A and B are shown apart, each in its own frame.
Chain A
């Protein structure tokens, strides 16, 4: 058994060291060095393209109207994978909150309370409470920025939602919110389902061509359809077609889903039913 684990460790390490040599510089084409030169005006231009990376680098800005190639792959070319991930997260949140709801008494959880910073409970340090009172708006602002600018700058729906959910964790740890679970869970689960519903209905809206077809990218400029030049540029908020909408949907779903897990777990840790 020990020999087998040692052998697998050596194999994995050797595989990683071999594959380091196969990496190529960031932002430069891998197969053909001319892949980024002489870009045509056609929507799909496969001149000089020899690998899939080169295809994305050459065509993603024209086809999806988004400056962020990673976001255009995640939400457009591989949008169906993202739908699968969102469904997995939805199922995980559902099963975890069902499991945790068995663990606390129902009469504990009905009152709702938001504390002000001068009425903190005694068991929480004053520094932590005031610090998180100051930090929470900044974290939420950063998360909203990541979600809204998902098609322009690094980030996107999943990262922004996770950042905002860490804000929820800060709020819970510093006891700014206590005893809240039922109403919070009802609101949060409504918005989580809303995010997934927006994603799926945007997928069906382009069903005339394919499922999850980016039908807004070549449309009017007032509806996320603004054309962008090829090459590095700051971009516009109303470009990207369907990508900002999908990024928003995923951001809403991830934020409220992870927040439901945290709120339920925190409540169980505070008011657990006494074991018989």
Chain B
């Protein structure tokens, strides 16, 4: 019971952060929101007994993609028109 309630809360957090990362005009805030989404998604994958996918999501979604996006922002503009 507790775990299913936690699961629903985590799923809602994923949806909210995904929508926030589309909503923000400040691209750095958008990327941070995307990183939070990836981290919570890692917990959800682990809860669904898929540790392979959880490790890949934590390494690629929360670390590599974020650093590549941040470097790209440094090369271009921070705010979206």
| Residues of chain A whose beta carbon lies under 8 Å from any beta carbon of chain B | 26, 70, 146, 154-156, 158-159, 162-163, 165-166, 169-170, 172-173, 258, 261-262, 265-266, 268-269, 272
Contacts and interface: CB of A to CB of B under 8 A. Distances in A.
B75 A163 contact: no
Interface in B42-61: 49, 51-52, 55-56, 59-60
Interface residues of B, number: 15
A169 B52 contact: no
Given A162-B60, A269-B74, A262 B68 contact: yes
B71 A269 contact: yes
19 contacts: A154-B51, A154-B52, A155-B52, A159-B52, A159-B59, A162-B59, A162-B60, A165-B64, A166-B63, A166-B67, A172-B67, A173-B67, A262-B67, A262-B71, A265-B68, A268-B75, A269-B71, A269-B75, A272-B75
Given A262-B68, A265-B72, A269-B74, A169 B56 contact: no
Contacts of A272: 75
B49 A155 contact: no
A172 B51 CA distance: 28
Main secondary structure of the interface of A (DSSP, over half): helix
Contacts of A266: 71
A272 B72 CA distance: 12
Nearest to A172: B67
Contacts of A26: 49
A78 to B, nearest CB: 14
Contacts of B75: 268-269, 272
Contacts of B71: 262, 265-266, 269
B68 A155 contact: no
B6 to A, nearest CB: 18
Q: Which of A146, A159, A170, A172 has the most CB of B within 10 A?
A: A159
A258 B56 CA distance: 13
Nearest to B51: A154
Contact of B55 (A154, A172, A261): A154
